[in-house]
Structures are given as structure tokens and as C-alpha cells.
Amino acid sequence: MKRRRFDAFPYLLLLPALLMMAAVNGLPIVQGFWMSLLKLNQFTLGQYLDAPFVGWDNYRRVLFDPANPLRAGFAIALRNTVLFTVVVSTLSIGIGLGMAMLLQRNFPGRALARTLLLLPWIVPSYVVGMLWGQLWQRDTGLINTVLVDWLHLVDERPFWLIGSNAFWAIVIPTVWRGWPLLMLVFGAALQALPEEPYEAATIDGVSRWQQFLHITLPLLKPVILIQLMFQIIDNLYSYNIVSMMFGHGAGYPGEWADLLLPLLTRQSFSYWLFGQGAAVSFVLMALMLLFVGLWLKGFRRSLVDAY
């Protein structure tokens, strides 16, 4: 049997990209992990990576020390983050899929409509936070002006950035910015679906709703699963919109709008606990890697069968 010759040329072509990825992604991860093993605070910040080595003590304090400032409000932020992720992911995928299906129909100005619907996604998330922060203002915001002065749906101007309404004040802008990209992804997936099952279903008298349930959704299942995983990851790490809407850094958004990443960032910089903050970030990264691994393992058969 003839032995196959090893060809190193393709690997040489990939080498520059691998080195760039290692420099851009690998070095910051290694540096951040080293920081999580140091006693890096306001007293040792000048030493930076030469700060006293404490090993796994930062992880112990973060996970098991009830007096640790980084754990203050953690349970509330975790509750908000879970609810926020579920609601935003569900609404974004639902609206994105629905709009993608509507845009599959031929009508005058469809290309223009598709372009205009992508505008929210083009706007940077920092700008979205500042923009919606102004729209939610009680006395001068456009939303209360529309609800109270124009449509007369409510008698008094509600507080959107205080109390339980603050939760929806961060959900709606996040969904508003996120669903256009999903519309684009689902639109491309819908165009790639075969026409034969729909033609056979139409001949058999199957309604459009039944076609959607029994043909479209099963065929789109791999795309929906992948996009749902991306949505969960993005929403668990949400930071920009909340930080710009309620104040970057030390701004406290209240009980119903505080998420994990803004909480941990605020507490780390407020108390100058940079080593422990780095430890928290690696705990979150480990949990996210575990989630992605379990997710891919659970839906591996569906993804393999689709491709």
C-alpha cells in the first residue's frame, strides 16, 4: 500500500492566520488568567502583572466568601440575566423569523423594506443605549409623549427607568437591535429550502400554518438552534445598552435592570478588586464553555443530519 505523502504547504498558508488569532485572542486570555491569580487591587495596581501571587484565593473569595463585595446583588443580577436572556432570545428569534417569512413574498419596494429594516442592527449598541435612554425619560421622552399626549393610552406618565419597568426598558432596545440580523439569517435559510415539499403539501390541501409547523420549522431547526445558542451567549454577556442607559461604570440601574456583567464590572472597579474581577470573568467563561459543549452534544444529531 502506497504511503500518502504529508503536504505541509496548506498548513503554512494557515500559519499567519493562526499566529494572528493567538496574538489577538490567546495572549489576552493568558494575561487575564494570570491576573486572576494575583492580589491586584488599588494598593498593588502599580505592580500590575508583578502583583503578589495568591493562586486560587481569588476564586475562593468570589465563589464562597459571603462578605465579598463582588457577591453583593449577585442573586438579583443572576435572576435578571436569566429572565432577560429568555425573553430577548425568544422575542428576537420570533420577530426575526416572522419578518423573514414576510419578506419572502413579492411586493413593490421589498428590497428597500429589507434595507430599512436592517437599520437598527447597523446602529452601534452604545448609541442604542443612549438613544433609548432618552426615549424612556418620563417628562421629555418620546415614548411617554406618544402614549400619553398622542394616543391617550395611559393617564399618567410612567417611570420607565425606575422599578420593574426598567426590565422592559432594557429588553425592548435589545430586541429592537437584535432581530434584524436574525431576519437576514432566516431569510437566507428560507431561500435555500427545497420547493418540492411545499408543492406536494399545497396539492394535498395543507394550510399555510400547517406547512409552517410541519415543513418550515423542521427544515429550519438546525439554523434556529445555532442562532438560539448565539443569542443566549450574547444576551448573557449584555453590557453596552445597560451601561449607556443608566450610566457607564458606577451607574446603578436598579433592582430590575441590573445584569451580571454590569454588576461585576461596577463592583470590580468600585472596590478596585481587579484580581477578583478577572477570576469572576473566568468563572463565567468556564460556565459558558460548559454550556456550549452540552448544547452541541445535545443537538449534535440534529446538526449532523442537516448537513
SS3 of 256-303: the string is CCCCHHHHHHHHHHHCCCHHHHHHHHHHHHHHHHHHHHHHHHHCHHHH
> Containing H/E element for 223?
helix 217-236
pLDDT digits (tens, 9 = 90+) for 42-81: 999 899 999 999 999 999 998 888 888 888 888 898 899 9
Q: With beta carbons less than 8 A apart as the criterion, state whether 157 and 148 touch.
A: yes
Per-residue pLDDT, 173: 96
User: Taking CA 220 as the corner, what is the angle to CA 193 and CA 101, rounded to the nearest 5 degrees?
Assistant: 70
**Which amino acid, one-letter code, is at 228?**
L
pLDDT score, position 63: 86
Cα–Cα dist 119/181, whole Å = 10
Low-confidence residues in the chain, pLDDT < 50 = none
Q: What is the pLDDT of residue 302?
A: 66
What single-letter DSSP state applies at residue 105?
S
CA-to-CA distance for 223 and 217, rounded, in angstroms?
Answer: 10
Predicted pLDDT at 5:
74
Cell readout for 134 is: 432618552
The angle at the Cα of 50, spanning 44 to 55, to the nearest 5 degrees, equals 90
Q: Give the Cα separation of 285 and 279 in Å (integer).
A: 10
Give the pLDDT confidence of 140-184 residue by residue, as tens digits. Answer: 999 999 999 999 898 899 999 998 999 999 999 999 999 999 999
Contact call for residues 63 and 242 (beta carbons, < 8 A): no
| Residue 137 Ramachandran class (φ > 0 left, ψ -120 to 50 alpha, else beta) | beta
Q: Which residues pair with 38 in a beta bridge?
A: 53
Residue type (1 letter), 175: V
For residue 72, the model assigns a pLDDT of 83
Could you give the CA distance from residue 76 to residue 125 in angstroms, rounded to a whole number?
24
What pLDDT does residue 75 have? 85
- Cα–Cα distance measured from residue 130 to residue 90, given in angstroms and rounded to the nearest whole number: 24
- Per-residue pLDDT, 133: 93
